[in-house]
Amino acid sequence: MTSQPRTETSTGPGARQRTVFLLAHTGRPAAVRSAELVVLGLLRSGIGVRVLAAEAADLPLPPSVETVPEATPDVLDGCELLIVLGGDGTLLRGAEFARASGVPMLGVNLGRVGFLAEAERDDLDKVVDRVVTRAYEVEERMTLDVVVYDNGDVLHTNWALNEAAVQKVAPERMLEVVLAIDGRPVTGFGCDGVICATPTGSTAYAFSAGGPVIWPEVEALLMVPIGAHALFAKPLVTTPDSVLAVEVEPHTPDGVLWCDGRRTVTLPAGARVEVRRGSVPVRLARLHHASFSDRLVAKFALPVSGWRGAPH
């Protein structure tokens, strides 16, 4: 993960207008109000705003805001930043746009935890000011490349920022799996599923399943069993160059693969899911230099009042 300071570019006559893409959860009244405030602040500073046509219909936007069709690969062409307003689901949706375009994503949390977000709802004025003055840095986050094999043939390919989760489909039946690291079997058991996660995803689904919190600067891969019926069913942390594999036993019911809880495919009995470090990172815009420890305490409201260490 690297941080890169933004540099000033020409704003004189003939310079191309700066443009920011805005993505919002328009089903939330708070997101609609926040989007209006951000758009008006950017426009007043001479920065163009682009939104999806499907969302523009639900937002009170001035006619100068550019609209584009949804889900085309080039919707962020010419944009310097992607601002996302919403909860974790909206931020993960924004990550899809950010990864495909290489444009940094700046998340504003309108949900509950929001580890991918850099700002909260009360920070909208600060967000606009930092965007206008380019007072932010860009950090790269590791992703996962995911391949599903069936009888040796590639059945499906996908990617994830947080996690790739192999899960059972039938609630009354366990999923029988064998886990492997770098081509060598490690263990097998019946379970509800197995999560393969990045450090970014260690505070998401993997955390809920009992996995460790991994600082984002650490380059590693994480494998966390869900409800395993076995003595050796602990989370495993490997090098970032390892290949994690989850094989669905031939005699077990079909499973399902979820990537970031958004993209899914059915896993037939006997399927093999391989997960490795992604070839394309997601770039996140950062406004603050606060440590991840402080972020962790704030997001989970952790009790630290007894700390008597030196003040910072």
Annotated binding-site residue numbers: 88-89, 93, 162-163, 173, 192, 203-208
Contacts 24+ apart (CB under 8 A), 78-81: 78/16, 78/19, 79/19, 79/20, 79/21, 79/50, 79/103, 80/18, 80/19, 80/20, 81/20, 81/21, 81/105, 81/106, 81/131, 81/285
Which residues are annotated binding-site positions for NAD(+)? 88-89, 93, 162-163, 173, 192, 203-208
Tokens in use for 148? 């599903």
202: three-class secondary structure by DSSP: helix
Torsion angle of C-alpha atoms 224, 226, 229, 234, degrees rounded to 10: 20
What is the DSSP code string of 230-296? SSS---EEE-TT--EEEEEPTTSPPEEEEETTTEEEEE-TT-EEEEEE-SS-EEEEE-----HHHHH
Q: Out of 58, 74, 77, 88, which one is annotated catalytic?
A: 88
Residue 88 bears catalytic tag: yes
Token duo for residue 62: 């001035």
Whole-angstrom Cα distance, residue 153 to residue 148?
Answer: 8
Side-chain half-sphere exposure of 79, counting CA atoms within 13 A: 27
List the one residue out of 136, 132, 74 whose CA is nearest residue 107: 136
Q: Which active-site residues does the annotation give?
A: 88
